[in-house]
Chains A and B, each alone.
Chain A
Amino acid sequence: MKKRNLLLAAFALLTTSVGILWAADHIDAPAVSSTSSDITDYYAFASPENQDNLVFVCNVQGLLDPTATATASFDEDVLIEFNIDNTGDAVEDLVIQALFENGKVKTYGPVQPSSTGAISKVQTGGTKVETDITAYGTSPSIGSNGGIKLFAGPRDDPFFMDFAQYGEIIAGNATGFNNPGSDTFAGTNVMSVVIEVPKSMLGSAATLNTWVESKRKM
């Protein structure tokens, strides 16, 4: 916890002193900073294993040092929702919802939601995949059903950046980046949800608009 607290303190200092913060989406806003619903990063890419699939990654709870990671867990009251717009209006046509309970992760979808927007209900109509949440220090537990693969658990934070130097620049203490730079996120972990889905389940558009949301039980 010590290192994490130190890092968080450094981030807090930078946030207040520079008023602007750039670190993917880590601790991006006061209401979610350092909470169980704080999204740190989102990725979407063609599967290296199978070009007919897309992979979606949502990371939450950043800046975990190894000690903090060993006891970190997903919040059972927080739903992670991957949103997919395949009609070009930035409104979700399909969702994939991930829920956490009793050491397990389960996902539903991709499925058309009963309503769109900021408030979601659990959509049980789509394909369900379930697996154990992978414990720290154990090999990945991978769930699969209907061509979908699912993982949830601690991972190395894949984000990299010399955030500290950026802060120095914004604060007026430096005029540019160092070469080589220093990865502020090296050695830290996140809680990660990775889901791989056949493209055939995502509609026929050439391009999708996608984003991820964390939503708390009301």
Chain B
Amino acid sequence: MKRIPLLGLFALLAIGTIISSCKDTGEDPVNNSSYMMEDQMGRPAINTVFVSGADKDAFNQTVPSAQGAKFADKFEAALLALNPGYTTNALGMDASTFTGALATDVLTVSMSGVTTFFDGTNVLTGRRLSDDVISVELLLLFGGPDGTANPQLTDDNVSANDKSFSNSFPYLAGPH
């Protein structure tokens, strides 16, 4: 009968050892939870501009690889509603090509060289904090093939942030 308390003691010791070894190695407690997507974003302003009110939640809950098939036609309709005179844009894309590219909402990032949304030379190689992405998108939506159409709509005339960015990590300005 004496063996039972001994076994209990061993069990206690074993548990203690496991707990302390967890601490020693800095292991995290196991997190087996599952997490469900609620919001997502690749390029700026895609859901807000091209997705109808009724579809906004659905778009956020669709993985990028499935977005094109599900939303490209709706994006094209939204573009032509915003700008009925759309023909092509400064990238030479007609409505279907442009919205087809946008419907898969991922941000392409170059692994070498300049990373920018658009800097006059490089197009969609990333997105810097200082990039004036809204004016770029306005130009592509309203500016026509050479960027000169609808001049009152192609630039919001806000070209920089209200605080300067840093060249040191974490780069964003401190809060107001």
Contacts and interface: CB of A to CB of B under 8 A. Distances in A.
A117 interface: yes
A39 interface: yes
B175 A155 contact: yes
Contacts of A213: 37, 39-40
A76 to B, nearest CB: 11
A91 B64 CA distance: 7
Contacts of A20: 48-49, 82
A118 B35 CA distance: 8
B45 A22 contact: yes
Given A20-B49, A161-B134, A175 B152 contact: yes
Interface residues of A, number: 101
Contact of A44 (B49, B113, B115, B163): B115
Nearest to A211: B42
A209 interface: yes
26 contacts: A24-B45, A26-B48, A39-B41, A42-B42, A57-B172, A90-B65, A118-B63, A119-B35, A120-B34, A124-B28, A137-B175, A140-B169, A156-B172, A179-B157, A180-B158, A187-B176, A192-B172, A209-B64, A209-B106, A209-B108, A211-B41, A213-B40, A214-B37, A214-B39, A215-B37, A217-B33
Interface of B: 28, 31-42, 44-49, 51-53, 56-57, 59-61, 63-65, 67, 82, 104-116, 125-129, 132-134, 151-153, 155-163, 165, 167-176
